Amino acid sequence: MKKFFTIMVALTILSVVSYFSFIYYATYSEGVRSGHLIKISHKGMLFKTWEGEISQGLSGSQIFSFSVLDKDKKVIEDLKEMEGQYIKLTYIERYKTFPWWGDTKYYITEVHKENSPFKLK
């Protein structure tokens, strides 16, 4: 009985470690999106996270919501400076997330200012 209990505890610990390792390291997709940065905020009650939105259409009907990890200080500062401008975001999409990482599955890794295709010349 003692051997069975030890094996069950070991399997449970291995399963939990495997699950959290998968969530931490695995990404579903990577990509680039561009649009007008309409919001960047630091929100939350228990866990404060950085959340933002870009508008990808003329009317604002296509909104892309994203999160930024606290460790990406340069990205957060760049987003604060570029609010209201047309930008290009490089992101990764995760299968699942931890609550202290943010509200979405999309995490910004880079941000660059772009020229708006909607600007009149």
Q: In this structure, are residues 110 and 90 in contact, taking their beta carbons and an 8 Å threshold?
A: yes
Closest CA to 82 of 110, 107, 49: 110
**Torsion sign over Cα 105, 111, 117, 121:** positive
Kindly report, residue by residue over 32-46, the tens digit of the pLDDT.
999 999 999 998 888
Cα radius of gyration rounded to whole Å, the chain? 19
User: Could you give all domains of the chain from N- to C-terminal order, each with its CATH number?
Assistant: 27-113 (2.40.50.140)
Predicted model pTM:
0.80
Better pLDDT: 57 or 39 = 39
